Structure 1
Amino acid sequence: MSRPNVVLTVLDTVRARDTVPASSSPMPTLADVAADGTEFTNAFSPAPWTLPSHASLFTGTYPSQHGAHGDHTYLDDSPRTLAEAFSAAGYETVGVSNNTWVTEEFGFGRGFDTLRKGWQYVQSDTDLGTVTRAEHPMEKLRAAGDRLFDGNPLVNAANLVYDEFAAGDGAERATSWVDSWLSDRDDETPFFCFLNFIEPHAEYRPPREYAEPYLPPDTSYDEATTLRQDPRAYDVGEYALNDREFEALRGLYRGSLAYLDDQLARLRESLVAAGEWEDTVFVALGDHGENIGDHGFFGHQYNLYDTLLHVPMVARGGPFDGGRRDDLVQTLDLAPTLLDAAGIDDPAFERQMHARSLHPDADADPRDAVFAEYLGPQPSPDSLASRFGEVPERVRAFDRSLRAVRTADEKYVTASDGSEWFYRVGADPDETWNRAGDHPERTSLLSDRLDQWVDSFEHAESGGEVSMTDSTKARLSDLGYL
């Protein structure tokens, strides 16, 4: 394979707890890919939510370096992206994103010949999501009247029908688009294809046939799908969920994984039918994880537990032809790995990276620690207060930044308010016992290690938010970010 295609598939919000090892997950296709290629069982995201985790994946840098996080909600033009590197090397670059954060609006379009919004049939700056989110027919009509003539009415009407009636929550549409694109393609140029599949993201709404095998015996599909799924409202105590209800939500989540796996199978079938599968380096990974009642949280904000950072990651094709790697790796390490797999030398990209290639022939030293950052709460406690009124002091405490360093056996987390946590994750993988007070020497050593890492690179600007359209704000609010 001289110039392989590269397909980078992000399984949004898929955590390792339900998928590693892949052979024991609800995802047999993912397990097949892992068996044919390489499964990285200790892969960690450098951030617990979409914007910074994708920016790290695209740039090979940490959030402090690329600057895209809760206090600076876009990727600046200065970091070189993976798509730009592939494009400069002569690759056709296409992508389909089903997450609002990963769009041109937030700085992710650079380098792509095509980056589609998966929820639109005709690509447009006018988003009709406010219409499809309305629950009552009269609300839909009023919203349609308000938005239909914002821009091109014909395009808006087409997108309204597509977003309202097309099957699935993005994955089915994305795989169908890629299948059509591959079928029509007669170019011998290799391609870089990026996909973001958002199905496991709350709200968990898998089709009945996928969910029912994973629901508790005493919980029906109808009962499970009527449970309220509003992580931010849960955070502020507007409603509560008991253990039985969280177990039902975990069943829906695993059903979403099973549904997503079938879409991965369709994607593989499309590559096979197009004659491209054997010439493709195929990667699937989670961008971050999820708390589903874990540690008292719902969603993926306000903490750096392994439930949010430990993710599945598999690669197949090219040099990834079998085996399993249990050493510590970061998802941002994929950037130099994929460039190495494609034989691309990009000095500008290499200069900015704080990543290590996972290519079997790379001479990078293995990691003895991984790092993560949560540089600004998203949404902030003030934003929560504007939506819900006064919020509990527990939630006010979330107004802080967090950083973590994790070795194979230990983990240290520190907050900008002076709080710190030390876990023996080898013996306490669920991070239930904070031993910082009992082990001051180990805590201090890891704190110093984290400080040295923070001081080892130049930091980006820390403030600034992108100007969003109302429909973008509404879509991100639906996803629990605003």
Structure 2
Amino acid sequence: MTRIALVVLDTLRKDTFDDHFDWLPGRYYSDAVSTSHWTIAAHTSMFTGRYPGELGVNMKNPDLVGFDAPVLAERLQSAGFQTRALTANHYLAYSEGWDRGFDEFYTPWHLQNQNAFNTTDLIGQMMQSENAGIKTMLQRLYVSDKSTWHSLVLLLKMTAPGVTHGVSDDGAKNVLSWVNSNASSLTEDEFLYLNLMEAHTPLNPPTEYNSADASVGLPKRGCFAENVQNADQIQTAYDDAARYLSDIYRDIFDRLKESYDYIVTCADHGQALGERTLRNRFNIWGHSYGLYPELVQVPLVISGSGLNGRDNRPVSLIDIPATIAELSGVDDRSRGIPLIEDREPGVQSSDADFESRSRLTQYHGFDSFHKKKYLRNEVLEATIDDVDTKLEGIATGSGYAWETHDQGLLVNDSPDAPKESLDTLSDSVTERTGDDIDREFSDRVLDQLEELGYV
């Protein structure tokens, strides 16, 4: 019997993790990178072991429908595992295909109420078609045998900007409650996926953690921000949220470790907090743009019996499916390499299996959410289009190099021949094209997405 949990601390920077999560036991991978700068693309790699560009999953197409082989959860499900997912992330809830292989798939917890009708696919309909979404909600409310009052409250939360995030917790308390209720009742092989959004904007941790005593968001112009007056407040609010996430995840982790053999803890990407500039004019905030280290360097810890110490090899989120396959005994069909094979801690990047295993990072431009928002906030369309083209980066045992639109190829720690290495790796990955989705969103829906912290 094997039980494995994969926990994604959404939008948590590696340096912030290092500041607040030193309590987390396990083997710490000190040189881990994501495959991208944002949630959907990174999860593509964690769920399939492929680069997002290979499957055509990017900010212009968030649906996981172009992968014909079984995803990780489907392979585990076929092998007899109970598979369950709890995600507080709306992108994963309303985009297609992310529930593949899960026996149970719970959508964002602060929009869920056991006494109201379920919103599993309702958010997607609402975001993709404003009128159809409201009509469908009203129809469900009318025919539902659930509480009319609770359903009306849920309807309000899903349709009224300014209401959705009136809570000081993004779902972690609900996850903790679920784990407390369910973790001890496991009777078979189990795969559990959790996504915790406390480090994602809007930043509004409970009062005892909240230095600003308010919900704090990022500049609306994102990577095109100028003259940000409250930069210190935002950075402090982010740290406050991470402190809260650390404390509540400690409670979740302590409960998980009683029932699960292995717990994989990671972030899907980081967050830019104004320390980078674009075109020597704009300050970059958020994670909609670029492949900077603050965005793609991620924490990764695998906890389980006998796992401890630090592993300094260059690893990637693309290695997670191979690792879970190794731990669970199912076949692996990914690009990655298992990170746990009875290795001693402290293995260096010269290890033979990893010597030539460079890792790719990918940026494919903006989605329609962000582009329309930037236009509404008076960013010129030509300025947006200027940085709406593909970029790539490469992580090796000697450092990280990444492309930019304004400064060429930038290098940390001087990777050997970074341009040649990047070109070689990039050429080995066949990009899938032609699947971009051109979605149009009303101002009301964009306001809702802004309240949720996505644009």
Q: What is the TM-score when the length of structure 2 is the normalising length? A: 0.81
**Paired residues of 1:8 and 1:284 also in contact (CA < 8 A):** yes
Equivalent position amino acid for 1:334 in 2: I
Contact preservation (8 Å) 2:94, 2:124: no
Cα 1:50–1:180, aligned 2, differ >3 Å: closer, same or farther? same
Q: 1:369: Cα distance to partner?
A: 2.9
Partners of 2:322 and 2:419 in 1: CA distance: 28
The aligned runs of 1:53-452 (5 Å cut-off) are: 53-76=42-65, 77-103=67-93, 105-117=95-107, 118=109, 119-121=111-113, 122-124=117-119, 125-127=121-123, 149-153=138-142, 154=144, 155=146, 157-159=149-151, 161=153, 168-183=169-184, 185=185, 187-212=186-211, 221-222=212-213, 225=214, 229-237=217-225, 240-242=227-229, 245-271=230-256, 275-276=258-259, 279-295=260-276, 296-318=283-305, 321-344=307-330, 346=331, 349-350=332-333, 353-361=334-342, 364-366=353-355, 369-379=358-368, 382-384=371-373, 386-391=375-380, 394-414=383-403, 420-423=408-411, 425-426=412-413, 445-452=417-424
1:390/1:468 CA distance change after superposition, 3 Å: closer
CA distance change for structure 1 residues 169 and 246 in 2, over 3 Å: closer, same or farther?
A: same
Which residue of the partner structure matches residue 17 of structure 1?
A: 15
- Structure 1 residues 323, 460: CA separation in 2 closer, same or farther (over 3 Å shift)? same
Q: What is the RMSD computed on CA atoms of the aligned residues?
A: 3.3
**Alpha-carbon deviations, 1:217-248, whole Å to 9, x = none?**
xxxx24xx365x244434444x6324xx2222
Structure 1 SS opposite 2:122: coil
Say if 2:323 and 2:339, in contact at 8 Å, map to a contact too. Answer: yes
Q: 1:290 to 1:390 in 2, by over 3 A?
A: closer
Shift of 1:12: 0.2
Rounded to whole Å, the distance in 2 between the matches of 1:475 and 1:411 is 36
Provide structure 2 residue ranges, at least 5 long, that are not aligned to the other structure.
127-132, 158-163, 277-282, 344-351
Sort the Cα spacing of 1:128 and 1:376 in 2 relative to 1 into closer, same or farther, 3 A: closer
Q: Secondary structure at the match of 1:311?
A: coil
Judge conservation of contact 2:373–2:446 (CA < 8 Å) in 1. no
Alpha-carbon offset, residue 188 of structure 1 = 1.8
Aligned counterpart for 2:20 among listed residues 26, 32, 40 = 26
CA distance in 2, matches of 1:473, 1:465: 17
Q: CA deviation at 1:464?
A: 2.4
Secondary structure of the 1:450 match is: helix
Q: Can you list the C-alpha shifts for 1:150-180, whole angstroms capped at 9, x where unaligned?
A: 4234557435546668762211112212322
Q: CA deviation at 1:149?
A: 1.6
Preserved CA contact (<8 Å) 2:32 2:299: yes
Aligned length: 415
Partner of 1:434: none
**Aligned partners of 2:202, 2:123: CA distance in 1, in Å?**
20
Distance in 2, Cα, partners of 1:128 & 1:48: 22
Checking the alignment, whether the CA contact within 8 Å between 1:377 and 1:401 is kept in structure 2 is no
Q: Identify the residue that residue 280 of structure 2 maps to in structure 1.
A: none
Render the CA deviation track for 1:175-215: whole Å, top value 9, x for unaligned.
212322235x3x52121000000110111111231234xxx
Alignment match, 1:4:
2
User: 1:269–1:57: structure 2 CA closer, same or farther, 3 Å change rule?
Assistant: same
Cα deviation for residue 127 of structure 1 reads 4.2
Query: 1:341 Cα shift?
Result: 1.1
Render the CA deviation track for 1:402-459: whole Å, top value 9, x for unaligned.
11113344443336x7962232x128xxxxxxxxxxxxxx89x422222221222333
Matched, 1:49 2:48: no
Kindly tell me: are residues 342 and 58 of structure 1, through their superposed partners in 2, closer, same or farther at Cα, counting changes over 3 Å?
A: same
Once residues 169 and 236 of structure 1 are traced to their aligned partners in structure 2, the CA distance between those partners, rounded to angstroms, is 27
Matches within 5 A, 1:456-467: 456-465=428-437
Out of 254-263 and 287-296, give the one that drifted further.
254-263
Amino acid at match of 1:194: Y
Is there any run of 5+ residues in structure 1 with no aligned partner, and where? 131-143, 213-220, 428-441
Report the Cα distance in structure 1 between the residues aligned to 2:49 and 2:68, rounded to whole angstroms.
13
Q: Which among 23, 27, 31 is matched to residue 38 of structure 1?
A: 27
Provide the identity percentage. 24
Deviations 1:120-145 (A, max 9, x none): 12422334999xxxxxxxxxxxxx99
Q: Structure 2: how far apart are the matches of 1:108 and 1:263?
A: 25
**1:478 aligned onto 2:421:** no
Change (3 A) 1:329 1:263: same
Question: Following the alignment from structure 2 to structure 1, what is the Cα–Cα distance between the partners of residues 434 and 342?
Answer: 37
Contact 2:86 2:175 (8 Å CA) reproduced: yes
